[in-house]
Structure 1
Amino acid sequence: MASQTPLKGTELVDCARANAKQGIETAAYQCGYGDDLRTFAQELRQACEEMNLQVKELTDLITDQDMILNVGTGEIVAPDTASNL
């Protein structure tokens, strides 16, 4: 659910990180900035600086842990029953 008001600080960084894979347009919308990508980017950059995060672009917020979670979304291969190996 998109925020009704533009997020700031750690809430903005958390929201942007959660939506980074969907792209800047989606992240800006979900964080309450609508189509205002410029303000979203400025506020996100400022919030990251205040948190001492080195972020050059939105995708930098995607962590290794997020990438590992994606790897685990493959197909499960298992026998039909416990006795049928």
Structure 2
Amino acid sequence: MDRMIPSNIVEQWMTHLRLQRTRARDMIWLIEKGATFHDGREGQPTTDATARWLCEQQKVIEEVDRLVALYDALNAESAL
């Protein structure tokens, strides 16, 4: 079903996506600089979750890049 969505709402979504991508890039940078993340219980680390975090952040970037490309392609179509 096609619906009309106001452009200001779409722009807010895109701003949010780009912010998520920036946060993911920052997290990857921290991991590459030696930060580690651990799962834990009651304040005690139990397992190293750094690899999982890195993978999740890389997927965030891939997905946001895909959505931004889709958005840009739709805008290019409408400009013709």
Normalised by the size of structure 2, how large is the TM-score?
A: 0.31
Structure (1 or 2) with the greater helix fraction = 2
Q: TM-score, normalized by length of structure 1?
A: 0.30
Q: Which has the higher strand share?
A: 2
